[in-house]
Amino acid sequence: MPDGSPQSLAIACSAGGFKGVFVHGVLSALEEAGVYADGYAAASSSVFPAICAALREANEIGLRYWRSALHTLQQPGNGMSEVVLHSIAESSHHLHNFLLQPDMARFFIATSAVETAEGAEQTQGDGARRLGRRLLVSAARGDSSWARQHLRKHVFDSAATDEAYRLTPENIDAVIYASTRMLHAWTIPATIAGQAFIDASYTCACPAIEMAQEGYKTVIAIATEAGPLYRDIFASEQIPDRWGNTPIHIIRPAQDLAKLGTGFTEVTEDGLVVVYEHGKEQGRAFLQTNV
């Protein structure tokens, strides 16, 4: 576990739609125990719980964020795009005035950059939802050919020296939205500085290896699935328990969270409560054996 030196501990959080409430529960348990990271990395729906943890407000905000998201989704005419945009608007004060300050933990957000003109047209145009459904079928088959042809992993970083990768107050809203945009369920296109982007999951569903590559001595990866943790939705590569000299500790649910009432986009308020508490239980169990 962390030794207190610079870049000692990174926490990497997995994508998962509303299943991200499990991530939030784990982060709340870590916060209760006084475990804070030097760097937080997130993908898709885990961005908001990771932000809460970086601000040391995981417990304070807790289920309030997820209940608000569910309430937004339940309003007539709303979909997942509206949920995320509403969450960004509600969090703007924290995002712009606190998260990216010099004394805060380093923060990373994974996204998928669309590298080709053909891919940009397909992901931003009328056929995006159809493509999204096709990519879900491809993911079930382990076929990542479309993603390899058109996408590139792009991880924004609050401490990046390269402006193309720097997370700033000017781009953070767009980066957060882009990181969440699964094509089959998000209707509003995502761009950053004029370039098309889509959900992190297509190229980087959990940036754990990326944190090891950044030089963190220990990585905690929080999964939203009970089985193996993969680098993308196509299951192209499993995240190991060690990368080089860096141990990667994976905290995962004990069972499929959908069976507890929380799926990617289908969720009940009772399910949110149960899964959040399950996350806290799994976080505490991890701490009992690793601290």
What confidence tens digit (pLDDT) does each residue in 238-263 have? 999 999 999 999 999 999 999 999 99
Indicate the angle between helix axes 58-73 and 47-54, nearest 10 degrees.
150
pLDDT averaged over every residue in the chain: 94
Condensed to tens digits (0 to 9), the pLDDT of residues 192-228 reads: 999 999 999 999 999 999 999 999 999 999 999 999 9
Task: Render pLDDT for 71-126 as a digit per residue (tens, 0 to 9).
Answer: 999 999 999 999 999 999 988 877 777 888 888 999 999 999 999 999 999 999 98
H or E stretch covering 216: none
Query: Nearest 10 degrees: CA dihedral of 23, 29, 33, 38?
Result: 10
Cβ within 8 Å of residue 171, ≥6 positions away: 156, 192, 193
Q: What are phi and psi of 8, to 5 degrees?
A: -75, -50
Angle formed by the axes of helices 269-290 and 58-73, nearest 10°: 150
Q: Is pLDDT at 134 greater than 80 in this prediction?
A: yes
Contact 280, 25 (CB under 8 A): yes
